Structure 1
Amino acid sequence: MAGYGWLAYQLHAAVSHSHGPTLCLIKNVTGVPCPSCGITRAIMAIIHGDVNGSLYSNPLGLLVATGLVVGPIWLLVDVLWRKETLWKSYQQVEVWLRNPVRAIPLAVVVLINWFWNIYKGL
């Protein structure tokens, strides 16, 4: 719910042509963007139909936007059908990621994204 609230605030700020504050503690303290910096801008770009702008802001934004759409629908279906498929899938992914052969390449992708954020000066 906090994520949807933040997006609503950002949409309102975009309409009023003001830029909202950054909530990134790492960037506020060090001046260096974190790996997730730019995800709000990426999602805002997707909402406005700018996929290239979204990818430039933060490629992980597409993944987060997909989760923001699919997650609540999946949860609603689970509640209506009295199932726990979302929770069981989450647990399976968590176990799957415990394998270093899978976790290390994903960590490398996050590091590459972080360097990309630093390079473009977010």
Structure 2
Amino acid sequence: MTGHVAESTMLASGGAAAVVAAACIPVSAVDDGPVICPFRRLTGLPCPGCGLTRAFVYTMHGDLPSAFAAHAFGPFVVALAVLSAVVMVVRRVRGDGPVALRRAVKHPVVVLAVIGWAAYAFGRMVTAG
């Protein structure tokens, strides 16, 4: 597999695996679970990804209010993971090449999403501290 094929396949497969795992994990397992984030354990502050596991589980169990409360970007990341897996499968079935990730990450929507995520993460750190 060439580099860009492996990148897009691994990204889509990893996202799909996370979504399937989240659907299998009971909500009760994440409601009062331990803090597993090393950054948060060391600093007491939430990292940019803190809450995503809970948000994935809540989303996959249909509890969107709790998902957004856990991490505002969580349900969107779940949707992106599902969409990327579907696109990967469809492109393979059609015989199309992989999605060019290097070009996709430079798309203005992606850039704005990353800026929004960074602002959200910074805001959570400031208000938590």
TM-score (norm 1): 0.67
1:26 to 2:33 alignment: no
Residues 1-122 of structure 1: pairs in structure 2 closer than 5 A:
1-2=13-14, 4=17, 8=21, 11-12=24-25, 14=27, 19=33, 22=36, 24-84=37-97, 86-88=98-100, 90-97=101-108, 103=111, 106-118=113-125, 119=127
Tell me how far 1:59 sits from its aligned partner. Answer: 1.3
Residue 116 of structure 1, CA deviation: 4.6
Q: CA deviation at 1:94?
A: 2.4
> What number of residue pairs does the alignment pair up?
113
Whether the aligned pair in 2 keeps the contact of 1:35 and 1:111 (CA below 8 Å) is yes
Instruction: Give the counterpart letter for 2:33 in structure 1.
Output: H
Identity of aligned residues (%): 19
Structure 2 spans left out of the alignment, 5+ residues: 1-12
Normalised to the residue count of structure 2, the TM-score between the two structures is 0.64
In 2, distance between residues paired with 1:108 and 1:16?
Answer: 31
Provide the rounded CA distance (Å) in 2 between the counterparts of 1:27 and 1:92: 33
Per-residue deviation, 1:82:
0.8
Q: 1:5–1:46: structure 2 CA closer, same or farther, 3 Å change rule? A: closer
